[in-house]
A and B are shown apart, each in its own frame.
Chain A
Amino acid sequence: MNELLSMLVPLETLSGWPEVPTPSILLSLAIFVGFPVLVFLIVVAINKIAQSIHAGRGDDYHTSDPFWVGDQKSAELEAAPANPGTEAYGRDADQAMAREVEQASVSEEVEGDDTGEHVGGAGARW
């Protein structure tokens, strides 16, 4: 152990220099274990503070209930289930595929001569 420690912390005192005290086990643990743990705890604390700030600003959105601004004809808005990756996709997969096929055929028809007689827009992911 002392040999391993001596590779990192030299224990030999060169001539002409004052005597170097041998570091205690507690000091060694504090340097090689305690300091990294302290740095880790500081980083975790900074992340927690940042998360609490974001939560206080309302940036953390959990959209179980939709937020709507605008006009709608129907009073009841069709809300997607909480896990749309399974049930809703399975239920509407055929409809979605049929819609995609219809849109693809329409887009092929109007390609090069877009009369604009269909909805437009754009999409993005982040």
Chain B
Amino acid sequence: MPAGDSFTPSQREWITRAVHNAEAVSGLKFSVFVGVAEEDSRGYAERLHQALSDPDHSVLVMCDPEFHKLEIVTGIAARRVLSDLECRLAAAAMQTSFAGGDIVGGLTAGIQQLGEAARQPRTLHITRPVERLGDIG
């Protein structure tokens, strides 16, 4: 049964929503790949990451359920806000879910955790609109 068909539509929606939420919270670009990887899963994940449109600001989560491998790749700019320690914590949480057979739950929880870890604080003097002098006071 191919991976695309093994996920139900609701499961695909959960993963997609988790990706969008993580992107909205963190400002980074998240991508998820579920499929068979090569023997060198890390190298394969990095090549996938380089194939993205903006790899420097992107985070790739690659999951190989067949050979039980998980790789998280962060771009150069993304790594400044999402450290390797936070990636390891998210990987450990996903590993626990994967070991229990819950691939979708592990992916959604891990992506949300990565997004929260890379959350960008609001900067009011940049995000607030400029007020006219006549409106003050």
Binding site for B on A (CB under 8 A): 54, 58-74, 77-82, 84-85, 88-89, 92-93, 95-96, 99-100, 116-126
Contact = CB atoms under 8 A, between A and B. Distances in A.
Nearest to B99: A126
Interface string B103-122: 11000000000000000000
A106 to B, nearest CB: 13
A71 B33 contact: no
B87 A121 contact: yes
Given A58-B11, A64-B3, A116-B76, A69 B19 contact: yes
Contact of B2 (A54, A64, A100): A64
Contacts of B64: 63
30 contacts: A58-B11, A61-B34, A63-B65, A64-B1, A66-B33, A66-B34, A68-B32, A70-B30, A70-B58, A71-B53, A71-B54, A72-B51, A72-B53, A73-B52, A79-B36, A80-B37, A84-B38, A84-B67, A89-B38, A99-B43, A119-B49, A119-B76, A120-B84, A121-B59, A121-B84, A123-B41, A123-B91, A124-B70, A124-B95, A126-B68
B35 A65 contact: yes
Given A63-B6, A67-B34, 13 more contacts: A58-B7, A60-B6, A66-B34, A69-B32, A70-B30, A70-B58, A70-B60, A84-B37, A92-B39, A92-B40, A119-B79, A121-B71, A122-B71
B133 to A, nearest CB: 42
Contacts of B79: 116, 119-121
Top 5 nearest A-B pairs (CB, nearest first) are A70-B31, A66-B35, A65-B2, A89-B39, A122-B87
Contact of B72 (A67, A68, A95, A121): A121
B80 A123 contact: no
Contacts of B71: 121-123
Contacts of A81: 36
B67 to A, nearest CB: 8
A122 B110 CA distance: 12
A96 B38 CA distance: 10
A60 B76 contact: no
Given A80-B38, A95-B43, A123-B72, A61 B3 contact: yes
A7 B70 CA distance: 58
